[in-house]
Amino acid sequence: LKETDVGITQYVRNDMGFTGVLKARFSDFLVNEIDVHGKVVELTNQHVPQTKEDEINIGEFDSIRLDTMHILTEDIWESIKALVDERDLKSKSVNIKVDGIEKTERTKIHKLLKYEFGNKIATSTEDFNGSKVIKCVLGKKGARERSKWLWPGEFVWFVIYKENADTLQAASDLARNLRLQPSHVFYAGTKDKRAKTTQLFCIKKREPLQIMEAAKRIKYMQVGNFEIKNECLQLGKLKGNRFKIALRQISGDVNHIEKLLNSMQKYGFINYYGLQRFGNNAEIPTYQVGLAILKEDYKEACELILKPREGDSSELKEVRDFWWANRDSAKAAAMLTNNKFIEKKLLEGLALSGKNDYASALMRLPRNMLLLYTHAYQSFIWNQIASRRIKEFGTTLLQGDQVQVVQTDVRGQFPQSNFDVPNEAEEAFEDSSVVDALLLKKTVRTLSLEDISKNVFTIFDVVLPLPGFDVTYPSNVVGNWIGELLKADGLSSEKLKHKVKTFSLAGTYRKLLIKPEDLKWEFKNYDTPTCNLIESDYDKLQCVAAAQHLPEGKFKALILDFQLPSSSYATMALREILKYDTSSHSQYTLGENEKQKGLDNNQ
């Protein structure tokens, strides 16, 4: 998938760029969340707070867990959890065989179970069918309700640092180790996989020590900076992200590169939706599925999701090919061993609903996945309009443009720096922030000739709408373009009010241009192609330094440090200075060239 495939074609300034390899290693891309108060979220300590009544040896339960893994298997843990959650109504107890286990070891098991489940269960050592067992039963109702929570607030907030893992994976793995549902792990926004990322997480009524121990069992994750609060962390409640990025193997004159950076600092970049928004397949980008859904062509949508394509794993390729040829959904679903594939969920839906009930099958997909498709279509339209607006009129203000009036956030927490809802927060925004959305729309107004003559607004105040049934369009030619694109696709603003509520698009606004905040940079020469060029939060905690600048180094890197609002893409800022495609294919080609240069220089 290339940038031009999704409407990304223009630059604010058409100077000559330079080349550099982006994400040659995931450690070249660091992301730190910025909370609603404008504070950069960093992992600075791993101290576990303790209540005065609960002085626990931090390593004690790790040790017990390791010593008893052969007894307390995953199946045993799951059975106890089902008992506690009262999911298994037939089973009144769980028996753990402890034949030949010394009393001191049995005591440790009792202690660990007490720590994990508190008063929710009661344990005792008994003889059962000739074996010695530890019997777990539900605690008495009153005791369960009185389970002690000794902290001043209900919610444990903490900083999570992760490497080469996205937010959803981290939340799922942490929840599993804490024996929680992933939905019980709260966060403000999602971060990409191929990076080192730091953000806030929040869990209700789980001891900080338990969270720390759970994280220790996940190799890519570190946690710390615990705080106890009365309120829960809400999805979408973040100001943005700070990026530290290393562009390796840069070519071009240093003075010219600095001119490009100064230019972007002054003129900004086009606030395109990046390629991540559209999937990774050029044949079937996500917006095509979204268009089919919006047109109520559910058969087409299902076929696009299941259609054979290049780049699949051998297992998925076999399944797609089989289904495409035979349309046996049940058998195709059974061929997929990984339950995480959306293709498996869709195939199961087709098998259950009947091979022609494509609408019901689609509705078996997670809601956030369905939203991803329809929002990708909105984003595709927005990118095309932004490109044409810049191509035909540059950064000149036009009568009829729409601008955002400066206003504090609905809760008075921070100025709304970008009007679009964060990519990761759209579902929550629609469900729980309807009042916010209405107020946001009221802060947009149409630009008059008088406004332009008085220099009241600049191009950085201009917003473009994402099409929808409840949004106004610019009262100039730009508004006409939106209608024309929708019409060409067999849609209209009115038709975006879908009869299936999940698929309805009300519309919102997004800043046309963005300036990176607090932009800093440095050049660093290095010899080893794989050396670490930037220190992460965890590197700092471990006193691991990044590679030093070598005046005579074989290679040159550009290290960038800047902040963006939550719905903006760092890759789109980088393309403004690089002036070339940031797609994975382009980066792979450049990366291979860097490897070859490294080999040539070492010969």
103-127 pLDDT tens trace: 999 999 998 898 888 788 999 999 9
Range name among 309-318, 447-456, 463-472, 539-548 with the lowest pLDDT average: 309-318
pLDDT band at 63 (very low <50, low <70, confident <90, very high): confident
Range name among 63-77, 142-156, 458-472 with the lowest pLDDT average: 142-156
The pLDDT of residue 543: 95
CA angle 192, 209, 232 (to 5 degrees): 55
Q: Which of 148-152, 156-160, 494-498 has the highest mean pLDDT?
A: 156-160
pLDDT band at 312 (very low <50, low <70, confident <90, very high): confident
pLDDT band at 87 (very low <50, low <70, confident <90, very high): low
Topology agreement, domain 39-52+147-238 and domain 277-365: no
Mean pLDDT calculated for residue range 483-509: 94
CATH 3.30.70.3160 for domain 39-52+147-238, yes or no, is yes
Superfamily of domain 369-407+431-511: TruD, catalytic domain (3.30.2350.20)
Across the chain, mean pLDDT equals 87
pLDDT band at 174 (very low <50, low <70, confident <90, very high): very high
3-class secondary-structure state, position 361: helix
pLDDT band at 36 (very low <50, low <70, confident <90, very high): very high
* Fold category of 58-138 in CATH: Ribosomal Protein S8; Chain: A, domain 1 (3.30.1370)
Between the CA atoms of 478, 484, 490 and 496, what dihedral angle is there, to the nearest 10 degrees? Answer: 20
Sign of the C-alpha dihedral, residues 519, 525, 530, 533? negative
Q: Residue 211 above 50 pLDDT?
A: yes
| Domain residue ranges in the chain | 3-29+243-271+514-601, 39-52+147-238, 58-138, 277-365, 369-407+431-511
Gap between the Cα atoms of 159 and 43, Å rounded: 6
The pLDDT of residue 340: 66
CATH 1.10.860 for domain 277-365, yes or no, is no
Residues in CB range of 511: below 8 A, 6 or more apart? 271, 404, 418, 419, 420, 460, 462, 463, 565
Active site residues: 192
Gap between the Cα atoms of 304 and 603, Å rounded: 48
pLDDT band at 422 (very low <50, low <70, confident <90, very high): very low
